[in-house]
A and B are shown apart, each in its own frame.
Chain A
Amino acid sequence: MARQQDRFRPPSRPPKTLTNRPAVRTASALTAAALAAAPGLTAASSASADSENGGATLTVAASQPVDSLSPFLAQRLISTSIHRLAYDYLTNYDPETNEPIPGLAESWETSEGGLTWTYTIREDATWSDGEPVTAEDAAWTYTTMMEDEGAATANGNFVANFESVEAVDATTLRIELEEPQATMLALDIPIVPEHIWKDVEDFSTFDNGDFPIVGSGPFVITGHEPNQSITLKANEDYWREPPKFDRLVFRYMPEQDAQVEALRAGEVSFVGGLTPAQADALKETENVTVNTADGKRFQGFTVNPGARTRDGEGFGDGHPALEDRVLRRAIMRAVDKDEIVESVYGGYAQAAGGYIPARYDTYHWTPGDSRRLSFDPEAANRMLDEAGYERGDDGVRVSPAGDRLKLRMHVHNDRPDYVAMGKLLVERLADIGIEVVNRTVDPGVLSDALYSGEYDLIFTGWTVNPDPDYVLGIHTCGALPEEPGTMRSDSYFCDRDYDRLYEKQLAAYDDRGARAEAVAEMQRILYEQAVVNVLTYADTLEAYRSDQIASIQVQPDPGGNIWGQDGHWSWSSAVPADSRASAAAGASPWAMAGTGAAVLVAIGGGVYLLRRRAATAEDRE
């Protein structure tokens, strides 16, 4: 073969080497691919070596990457959840009841009128570098947030009303307020160590990336691979009981279905934010436990009651008929919340009553039978008939002022549940003679419409904290924009009675019963005005490997969630399962077998190609 070839080749040509032949190239490419598969061996062996060291690792799938490790900047749930593990707060929330309980502060007292708060800081708390945690650390953290705009980025709202903060001595912290504030036992601010942070020059860019990060919580952040994973180690010196897992890893996986597959494979121990379909499928999976929790969020829509500024200047182009409370209430009577629970959430939700979700039983309110706007399209039609909304020839009603009831509805296109709800809403409102133009749009388009007042119906939802102050505050007249386009709320609601009750619940900071009463009354007003309309409280659906985690704390208990707790309870109290070590070791033979198979296939393929090549070459000769 080579001889014949040479006869026709120019003499200057270098002899062909073996690697120049296409078939050989293909074969070597395949072998390279097989080699790439080989590390299964190493990966598996490193996993089992890890468990030999006696370290149980809990791996959590995270849907977002961490935005910042600085507690002054971090805004995403993943980051604030990690900060709850690494830093203590003044107070914490009880895992079972959500009530405030001692944190770094072991006790507190307030002055008459509630303007001075004095906290006693516990003496047995230390930073992870051995320094004691003192009142000075807390005072420095709060003062820095008050004085430095960069440090106020994430949590400035908590200290906006602070007059002064002072460390009277190492264990006494005194805060003076400008106005009474109900959230003084719900200051969700990580306290940072002054001796580490005092040299920081620019808080708006400091990324707190010096590992291990000095903190005071049950875990210490020991490593961060941006956009991949973040690793924490148990803090053996934590003043509460130290965690039982030695290592906690949050792995970033943007794709929800990929998360579920990782859970099936046992690569992660926990996955949150499941869809009803995923939860149903995982219920059938061996060694997986599905946790169904009462949601912290509500889902609903607001009606444009006429956008206006704080001075009462109207703007935007909301449908004028929506200023009529009768029409708004009729809309609510036409909506079937039970239908939404079944068809949108597959039963994994509760039909909503009041504004605060049912999981917060102190503040949750349910309308009594006499007030309830229960689903009754006939009653809704009657209401509209009586109020003078006559049906046109096409079945669409016309308001007494002569405006056809054609309403625009803005729906977030990135939320499948809202999209499904929107479709139902179009059908239900058609039943009472209202035409709805469904605008399923990018959230950016939606918020532009909201802020400019150019909408009629708009979908919304908020996560509610154990302390409901903030979500209540956004519906006060004070939350109306100073000028068009600067709003931070989701409705242009303003009601004097509501505002009076808001002040009342603020002043009732030390009387839970009185405060709950005022909050219930506020929810009644919201419900009856039907501007802010809550439809459901969707359940939180989560799953974990029962062969890796023996038990885990939910909040509230029972019926609560694992991910996104107000506190660190789930991860700090999780108990490793005994079978974990064997499960990790079990991966090794699989990987070996797989790698072996891949190598065999590749080599076989290469040999086959070579032989074929040779055979055809011979044919030609």
Chain B
Amino acid sequence: MDTSSDTGDGAPHRLGPGPPAEGGAGGARPRRAGGTAGGAARPGLHPAVRYLGGRVLTALVSLFAVMVTSFFLFRVLPGDPVAALTQGRSVTVEQLEAMRRDFGLDQPLPQQFLDYCLGMLTLDFGMSYQYRVPVADLIVERLGPTLLLAGTGTVIAAVLGLVLGTRAGWRRGSLMDRVDTGVALTLWSVPSFWLGLLLIVLLASGAGLFPTSGMSSPGAQGAFAAALDTAHHMVLPVATMVAVVYAQYMMIMRSSLLDEMGADYLTTARAKGLRDALVLRRHAVPNALLPTVTLIFLNLGRVVSGVILIETVFAWPGLGSLFYSGLRVPDLPIVQALFVVFAGSVILMNLLADLVYPLLDPRVRT
């Protein structure tokens, strides 16, 4: 976002009088922006350090809670992994017992919990029941495809949403606003797997423009050809994802821009003789951007959890489909680890957003 460079020099705020922002942008300001350290500041501690420490501490506590939840949450799931894995196959009682022992399921629950916690602390997520390989390896293997797909999708959706949202907000009520908003909201309410299948039917198997699924054609030769091949495979899943999610960026951008519209600093800017487009770009947009940034950061955290249904429809080998396959068994080491990773990435991105705020918005610094 090149617009942030405008924010960097603080120019827009010099124009905008401080207090009135309370009415407009104040509502959209991060909720924890004000007092979180509980009021009683310890003497000698720099406010910035206190802010930072508080944020990190909160994140750590959340992470720990997630870790504990993860263990018990999936043990409540019905079904016995050993029975599910051997379902419909000829097995002896000895084989079942051996599997149970291998998985550590013959241990009492407190012992299992202890092993799990120790494992988590050393980043040893255990061995997948179904694939018999370390879960950490599986996650690393699948992380790339998910980041590629969901990351690209999020970036495109955010850019598209910001541009369209700004346009729509600035000319509220115009035909363009109504059409853009209508289209975005319609797509937002479309189920992603259905849209995905529709695109496959129309553009892949119908018109033959794109491959129907997968991340690459088996046996693509050479790095450049392979990259192009992957990009070709990405078009439909990314398009599906963007189409479904860009509305949220657009609507947030639109409404926070509307919040700024009545602000006095815009009148001042106009009074100085600035063109409308400049008023928008230099003054309104930077101020309206904050809530959208929060949303983008939250979604960046969710990038890791991928887009489960889209990954399934397009046979994309990412974390979402790994999680789904783990849930069916239940493959406890996989689902536990992924739950922590998913939740952890959201927590991390939240933390980053909190840390970035003071840089974006001088009001948060005080």
Contact = CB atoms under 8 A, between A and B. Distances in A.
Given A8-B273, A10-B11, A447-B84, A20 B2 contact: yes
Contacts of A616: 277
A558 interface: no
A262 interface: yes
Nearest to B14: A10
Contacts of B86: 75, 488
A168 interface: no
Contact of B209 (A37, A251, A262, A443): A37
Contacts of A437: none
A276 interface: no
Given A255-B313, A444-B78, A22 B220 contact: no
B315 interface: yes
Contact of A262 (B79, B205, B275): B205
Nearest to B313: A255
A42 B225 contact: yes
Interface string B101-138: 01000000000000000000000000100111100000
A377 to B, nearest CB: 33
Contact of A261 (B94, B200, B229): B200
B30 interface: no
Contacts of B88: 461-463
Contacts of B99: 153
Contact of A47 (B96, B212, B215, B217): B217
B261 interface: no
A447 B210 contact: no
A64 to B, nearest CB: 9
Contact of A39 (B212, B219, B232): B232
Interface string B175-217: 0000000000000000001000100110011011111111111
Interface stretch (B42-50, B156-164, B337-345, B352-360): B156-164
Given A204-B132, A205-B133, A620 B276 contact: yes
B80 interface: yes
A420 interface: no
Contact of A22 (B163, B193, B273, B322): B163
13 contacts: A22-B166, A29-B159, A29-B160, A36-B232, A75-B85, A156-B92, A157-B92, A227-B317, A227-B321, A262-B212, A264-B205, A441-B78, A594-B210
Interface of B: 2, 11, 77-80, 83-96, 98-99, 102, 127, 130-133, 141-142, 156, 159-160, 163, 166, 193, 197, 200-201, 204-205, 207-221, 225, 228-229, 231-232, 234-235, 238, 272-278, 281, 312-315, 317, 321-322, 325, 330
A580 to B, nearest CB: 16
Given A265-B205, A442-B79, A620-B275, 7 more contacts: A156-B92, A156-B98, A157-B92, A204-B132, A261-B200, A267-B212, A591-B209
Given A39-B231, A42-B229, A261-B204, A442 B78 contact: yes
Given A25-B159, A255-B213, A37 B133 contact: no
A43 B228 CA distance: 8
A196 interface: no
A587 B232 CA distance: 14
B205 A65 contact: no
Interface in A352-386: none
Contacts of A59: 218
Given A153-B95, A258-B200, A264-B205, A620 B277 contact: yes
Given A160-B92, A264-B205, A621-B275, A67 B79 contact: no
A147 B93 CA distance: 16
Nearest to A257: B197
Contacts of B130: 67
A610 to B, nearest CB: 13
Interface string A539-569: 0000000000000000000000000000000
A36 B238 CA distance: 11
B94 A160 contact: yes
A120 interface: no
Contacts of B214: 228-229, 251-253
Nearest to B281: A22
Given A29-B159, A227-B317, A258-B313, A38 B95 contact: no
Contact of B317 (A8, A19, A33, A228): A228
Given A207-B132, A590-B208, A226 B141 contact: yes
Contact of B208 (A22, A25, A591): A591
A152 B98 contact: yes
A441 B272 CA distance: 68
A448 B90 contact: no
Interface string A190-216: 000000000000001101000000000
Contact of A255 (B79, B163, B312): B312
A29 B157 CA distance: 11
A262 to B, nearest CB: 4
A22 B205 CA distance: 35
Contacts of A43: 211, 217, 220, 228-229, 232
A594 B317 contact: no
Contact of A40 (B85, B209, B314): B209
Given A157-B95, A267-B212, A598-B209, A231 B219 contact: yes
Contacts of A22: 163, 166, 281
A5 B275 CA distance: 8
A241 interface: no
A447 B83 CA distance: 8
A457 B96 CA distance: 25
Contacts of A205: 127, 132-133
A156 B325 contact: no
Contact of B218 (A227, A231, A257): A231
Contact of B219 (A25, A50, A67): A50
Contacts of A33: 156, 235
A150 B89 CA distance: 17
A207 B127 CA distance: 13
Contacts of B235: 33, 36-37
B218 A448 contact: no
| The 8 A-B residue pairs with the shortest CB-CB distance in the complex, in nearest-first order | A444-B79, A39-B228, A594-B209, A39-B232, A444-B78, A227-B317, A265-B205, A470-B90
Nearest to B238: A36
A73 interface: yes
Given A205-B133, A262-B205, A225 B216 contact: yes
A436 B190 CA distance: 37
Nearest to A206: B132
A258 B314 contact: yes
A26 interface: yes
A566 to B, nearest CB: 13
A48 to B, nearest CB: 12
A78 to B, nearest CB: 12
Interface in A58-87: 59, 65, 67-68, 70, 73, 75
Contacts of A459: none
Contacts of A445: 78-79
A250 to B, nearest CB: 9
A515 to B, nearest CB: 18
Given A29-B159, A153-B99, A262-B205, A254 B212 contact: no
